[in-house]
Amino acid sequence: MKIAFDGKRFFNNGSGLGNYSRDLVRILAIYFPENRYILFNKNQSERGKEILNLPNLSFRVVSKGNLSRQFKMGKDAQNADADIFHGLSGELPLKWNNKSIKKVVTIHDLIFLRFPQYYSFFDRKIHFWKFGKASEQADLIIAISEQTKRDIIKYLKVPESKIRVVYQGCHQSFKEIQSPEFLNSVKEKFNLPEKFVLNVGTIEERKNLLNIVKAINGTEIPLVVIGKKTKYFNKVQKFIKKNKLLNQVIFLENVSMEELAAIYKLSKIFVYPSFFEGFGIPVIEALFSGTAVITGNTSSLPEAGGPESLYVNPYQMEDLKSKILFLWNNKAERKRRAEKGLEYVQRFTDENIARELMNVYSEVLRC
């Protein structure tokens, strides 16, 4: 079969939707090489350059014109004789011609509806319209978790029969064994403590970093934080300065994917008490890295974390503090949970996810 993709996020986004797009295209091209895959976008970038070298993958420039992604991309895919068009970030083109083509769209989350306070009125309206329109057009919808599936049914009024859950994976770096020499060089480069707790993710209110900082206040547990800063960072920094935690909370920047994977492996505990996630990729990054996980008991996080991660009420700082101290002081329990977590996370391997995606494509062609 020939499958066309909206390549905007593949080329333009460094993380999040970009990583999802690049990983999805990469694993399909590797595990199902008999198919042809076409990425459509206005232009290419350095991102994903090595993936484009795969022999069954090609890039095409979208026809020129105003709003070409919305009005030209779908027709271009049809004119390329694609069997399926897959919108990778909750959107599908608005215009199509009469040629036969099946439409699939991935919806990652509907957080803008669950937590409207984090979005402007304009963004909420645009997102709701785009996702609603794509849901109507799609022959099948991919939800990245059971939680997202429930939200699509509830908020977009889509019948359950139209939705398939296919989980996300994570970058290959987290699944690879890195040498002790490389781990040590990363430790020295970033001047990391011998033993520390790790948090990874955008530093925004929904991710709940402030409660982690409050939880380690009064302890001697070092916290390493890696993530893009938003205005919320100022709130966290204010608490850090007030409580003299500047030497205890370490913020890292300019960390490569390979270095990030090493830092996960060097950490003793990964802490991710987010209030809500569409899936929670950092959780499976930690599990693949062989690191014990503490995460929120809400939304899709238990789906990502599995039975051996520790769960907390993200609103209750004392609950979080007690769980951190419990694992911090119990090496055997950390080791046990990390080993069990590594077993659980194998369901999110590239091969399994590629097979599930191909099952969706095969099903949609039978519709």
Examine the domain organization and report whether 120 and 182 are in the same domain. Answer: no
Distance CA 14, CA 34 (A): 29
- The CATH number of the domain where 125 resides is what? 3.40.50.2000
Alpha-carbon distance values, 243 to 16, 193, 211, 246, 314 (Å): 33, 20, 14, 8, 21
Domain holding 268, by residue range, is 172-348
Q: Is pLDDT above 80 for 307?
A: yes
Q: Sorting pLDDT into bands at 50, 70 and 90, what band is 255? A: very high
Nearest one of 186, 316, 153 to 254, comparing CA atoms? 186
Give the pLDDT confidence score for residue 115 in this predicted structure: 87
> 322 and 198 in one domain?
yes
- In this model, does residue 19 exceed pLDDT 90? no
161 and 249 part of one domain: no
Shared domain for 16 and 120, answered yes or no, is yes
Mean pLDDT of the chain: 95
Q: With CA atoms as reference, report the closest residue to 326 among 251, 215, 236.
A: 215
Is 319 in the same domain as 362?
Answer: no
Q: Are residues 192 and 305 in the same domain?
A: yes
Predicted pLDDT at 247: 95
Let me know whether 75 and 214 are in one domain: no
Question: Both 268 and 192 in a single domain?
Answer: yes
Q: Are residue 293 and residue 185 in the same domain, yes or no?
A: yes
How confident is the model at residue 65, as a pLDDT? Answer: 80
Q: Residue 165 and residue 68: Cα distance in Å, rounded? A: 30
pLDDT digits (tens, 9 = 90+) for 30-72: 999 999 999 999 999 888 889 999 999 999 999 888 889 999 9
Specify whether 82 is located in the same domain as 198: no
Please give the pLDDT value at position 200. Answer: 96
Residues 145 and 237 in one domain: no
Burial class (CB in 10 A: 0-12, 13-18, 19+), 177: exposed
Which whole number is the average pLDDT over 276-282? 90
Same-domain pairing of 92 and 196: no
Q: Could you give the number of structural domains in the chain?
A: 2
Write out pLDDT tens, residues 100-132.
999 999 999 999 998 898 889 999 999 999 999
